[in-house]
Structure 1
Amino acid sequence: MLSSLESFKSVVLDQLGEGVIVADADGRIISVNRAAEEIHGRSLIGGAPDSYSDDYQLLTMNDAPHPPEELPLARAVLRGEEVVDAPWKIRRPDGTVVIAVGTARPVRNAEGVQIGSVLTLRDETSRVNAEQALLQALEMKELLLFEVNHRVRNSLQIVASLVALPMKRIEDEIVRETLSLTRQRIEVITAAHRSLYELGTHDHVDCAQLLPELCATVVQTYSIDDHIQLTCQTEGEIILPVSKAVSVCLAVTELVTNACKYAFEEREEGAIHVTLESDGDTVRIEVADDGVGMPVPDPHPKKSGIGTILVDSLTQSVGACVKLETGADGTKYIITFNRPPAERDFSSALIAKRRKAAP
């Protein structure tokens, strides 16, 4: 009767798609189903824990001989451990290598005494190889995107240089000023693409880091003997997709440029304050000066300047609300916009990754 029962158990185990290996209390292999032998490409009966690696050509995931005592079945036999979904490699007699993932558990009797151990394993070679191929494809994609951004940045630098070439030969101040502003706007876009490398992504820009640098460059261009003082205050992270970041950077630098050009007429000195704040959901940007103020804008102007067009473009592209406050004490622009959930989640994940990588 016992022989018949054991034969039945053997038949049942051979029907399983997962490999099953049973060891006695000393770790000697006493039962192996067909799937386990097919995965290993050899018979597995016999063998002790200290010879598992040599007997069955077991390797680490780095292709080194696997330390016998660290194999899942050996850990269950020798230390009574439960090991779940541990990976290792198997070199078959024909030279092919299989990636196995297995779970080992000690087997105890009713009194809690360990009387054996069991290992279940499956062939994960196709899945792991597919994952590695996908990772390699993603890495290649990232490299290609960085290369594209690098070429875009170089092309923008060439365009900025071409715009600057005729400036020294042009006597018309309006034309010179127009070319200078055009070059400045191109350099803002160039700086946004450069920031992609600094952040380590190919499509997001850290505006809290980039905007103070851009604003300082603008003020240095227009400030004679440092008569315009710039202060920038940042609070929170403002990581935006590159297209949105370019719109924000262009609008903010345009407002700072206008303040430098018009806010301090007939004044020996002035101050501009830029505030960048984000609570994760909402971004708030404030550009304020203590200048002479400005006329109340015509709600229905016949024509608009480039600065107005850029600010309007920002309103449309990011759904921003732009509020203007002006008077004898100066002018203040307040820009606020919300960030979509997916954008917030990506930013949070990127920030967590940066903090983890920081020394």
Structure 2
Amino acid sequence: MRSESYKILLIEDNPDDFFLIKEVLEIEGYYFNVNHAETLQEGLKLFDEDHFDIILLDLGLPDSEGFSTFTKTYTHAQDVPIIILTGLHDEEIGVKAVREGAQDYLVKGQVDSYLMSRAIKYAIERKRLFQSIKEREERLKIITDNMQDIVGQIDVRGNFTYISPSIEKILGYEVEDYIGRPFFELDKLKNVILNPKFSLTPYKAEFKVKSKDGPFVWLECIGSPLLDDNNQSVGGIFSARDVTERKKAEIALHESEVKFRTILESSPDSITVTDLNMNIIECNRATIDMYHASSKEEIMGLNASELIEPNDIPKLAKIVGQTLSKMESVTFELNLYKRDGTIFPAELSGNVIVDTSGIPVAFVAITKDITQRKMAEEQIKQSLKEKEMLLKEIHHRVKNNLMIISSLLNLQSQYIKDKASLDIFKESQNRARSMALIHERLYQSTDLKRIDFGDYIRTLTNELFRTFLANPELINLKIDVEDIFLDINTAIPLGLIVNELVTNSFKHAFPKGKSGTIIVDFHSEDEKFILAVCDDGIGFPQSLDFKNTDSLGLQLVNRLTDQIDGEIELNRSKGTEFKVKFKEIKI
């Protein structure tokens, strides 16, 4: 006799089948305490009133028929193992019931005592085992429910059978919103997780899922299949971590790299990046073209010194040192080698690349082949030199022509007896010489457009002094001028003004051999220039308006002052003083 004791609930409406089953159980020798019910309602009532180790269930009952009999019983008594009793024609329903949770099915009339008792014992043991597994799953669920990551399980169709509460924190959904739904609507990834080949090495993937509030969340998922004894997938398990911030950073970095690469390859100038030892670690297409290289690989890895004309290597080393110490951009010129050995001039703009801590990690250089620019500069220099020579020649010829006019006037004056007419010839001669003197200064100067007007005044007034004074000891000529450079457009009219005013002082200020002083002053003051010519002679007539006079000399002075946008003043308090104020004409 065996000591095992099992309490059985037999739901069977056929009395003959009931006694047959009870007899079969008694033959095997186990102690089976059998409680019998003829309807499903009666059986479920007995189940609620007592404790049973197993239910033997006939599917054809007066109050329930077919597979629904099992589903009703299973729903009511999920914790107790159920064995289905079927007839020969109901075997398919028995198989279906086992798939849905029954422990086994037996065909009535084909079961002996040994098979019956073994089926009952195994059903009870399997149920206990399943219960133990269920308890472990409950403990595991407590752990997964409290994890920050999403943990879940899918069935063989890829639908969620479990998902941890962290889904609410990460995606905003309740757990109930996901149970029964397809795996994040991602059929391809679902099929991968269910693939048996990933049972030893879990599959890892990243994907984005729309949260309940709208924004997408990036998840990093690790999953593997659940396999049966035949290595067939029966579902899958996975964990998913929110990597949105990391993904945003990666996407931003990628976009930055794409922009950098686009800018790099779009630049018409060579762009190279080197490490701190000047080894080239990156370059663009323009670099390959500039050096006449066959490919990028021909440039990558070279040391920058291999591309530089040897005499310029010390210069580069010095500039690199300065760049590292000052951490600022620098532009310089070097002679470089093309890959065929040809030397060409280049302009480099370099700077330091630093890491997030501000530590230098590399150099970047933008390089231009300036061969054409150098050729153009040389052509411009040559052209400018030719133009300077031509302009000097023009000034020389103008000066000579003016001197010829002055000489002609001098010759012509020798035949004039009338003093008034002779004075007119002499004044015209002096005017021509004053202009000739400016052109002489210009062709003798390195600056063909500007002259030192202070030096010009000294030369002009001394020539006038020698021209008009028979006895130089009578007149004291004082010259107080700054060395100011004036444009030719200002110098010529101002030179004529100086000629007229100084000539007037020599001719009219000291009649009948009277002695005195003439002062010529020229200086700058508050962005203006001031020319003053004064004497301590007999003074300018009170009755004479110098701006409305028949004197050709004063008419020239007024018109020439207007020409340089100046102002002229007359002071009669101590002799005669003319003062001209102007700004230099800008053209």
TM-score (norm 2): 0.48
**Structure 2 partner of 1:35:** 286
> What is the deviation of 1:164?
1.7
Counterpart CA distance in 2 for 1:35 and 1:334 is 65
How big is each residue's C-alpha offset from its partner over 1:117-162, in whole Å with a ceiling of 9 and x where there is no partner? Answer: 4433233444444444344433433332222112111211222222
Alpha carbons of 1:322 and 1:15: their partners in 2 closer, same or farther (altered >3 Å)? closer
Give the alignment partner of residue 568 of structure 2, picking from 322, 342, 347. 322
- Aligned-pair identity (%): 25
Counterpart CA distance in 2 for 1:292 and 1:14 is 82
> What is the deviation of 1:258?
1.8
How big is each residue's C-alpha offset from its partner over 1:171-222, in whole Å with a ceiling of 9 and x where there is no partner? Answer: 3333333222221111101111122245532222332221132122212222
Contact 1:39–1:98, Cα closer than 8 Å, also in 2: no
Alpha carbons of 1:280 and 1:129: their partners in 2 closer, same or farther (altered >3 Å)? farther
Counterpart CA distance in 2 for 1:303 and 1:110 is 82
Q: Once structures 1 and 2 are overlaid, which stretch shifts more, 130-139 or 32-41?
A: 130-139
Letter aligned with residue 161 of structure 1: S
Alpha carbons of 1:237 and 1:279: their partners in 2 closer, same or farther (altered >3 Å)? farther
Counterpart CA distance in 2 for 1:79 and 1:324 is 62
Q: Once structures 1 and 2 are overlaid, which stretch shifts more, 101-110 or 254-263?
A: 101-110
Matched, 1:15 2:262: no
**Structure 2 partner of 1:216:** 462
How big is each residue's C-alpha offset from its partner over 1:40-93, in whole Å with a ceiling of 9 and x where there is no partner? Answer: 1122244446xx2xx43x33xxxxx43334336x96499946662222233435
**Structure 1 partner of 2:236:** none
Alpha carbons of 1:67 and 1:257: their partners in 2 closer, same or farther (altered >3 Å)? closer
SS in structure 2 of the partner of residue 258 of structure 1: helix
What is the number of equivalent residue pairs in this alignment? 323
TM-score (norm 1): 0.75
Alpha carbons of 1:239 and 1:117: their partners in 2 closer, same or farther (altered >3 Å)? closer
How big is each residue's C-alpha offset from its partner over 1:261-304, in whole Å with a ceiling of 9 and x where there is no partner? Answer: 22211344121112222215222222211112232344499971
Bigger RCO (CA 8 Å, 6+ sep): 1
Contact 2:281–2:301, Cα closer than 8 Å, also in 1: yes
SS in structure 2 of the partner of residue 102 of structure 1: strand
1:197-208 matches, within 5 Å, as: 197=443, 199-208=445-454
Counterpart CA distance in 2 for 1:333 and 1:298 is 14
Give the unaligned 5+ runs of structure 1.
60-64, 344-359
> What is the deviation of 1:102?
2.3
SS in structure 2 of the partner of residue 171 of structure 1: coil
SS in structure 1 of the partner of residue 400 of structure 2: helix
SS in structure 2 of the partner of residue 67 of structure 1: helix
Give the alignment partner of residue 232 of structure 1, picking from 471, 479, 485. 479
> What is the deviation of 1:97?
4.9
> What is the deviation of 1:109?
5.4
Counterpart CA distance in 2 for 1:335 and 1:78 is 53
1:55-94 matches, within 5 Å, as: 55-56=306-307, 58-59=308-309, 65-71=310-316, 76=320, 80=324, 84-93=330-339
Letter aligned with residue 225 of structure 1: N
Counterpart CA distance in 1 for 2:452 and 2:543 is 32
1:271-310 matches, within 5 Å, as: 271-279=517-525, 281-299=527-545, 304-310=550-556
1:125-274 matches, within 5 Å, as: 125-197=371-443, 199-226=445-472, 227-234=474-481, 236=482, 238-274=484-520
RMSD, matched Cα:
3.5
Matched, 1:44 2:299: yes
Alpha carbons of 1:19 and 1:284: their partners in 2 closer, same or farther (altered >3 Å)? closer
Alpha carbons of 1:318 and 1:24: their partners in 2 closer, same or farther (altered >3 Å)? closer
Give the unaligned 5+ runs of structure 2.
1-253
Give the alignment partner of residue 576 of structure 2, picking from 315, 322, 331. 331
SS in structure 2 of the partner of residue 166 of structure 1: helix
> What is the deviation of 1:113?
6.4
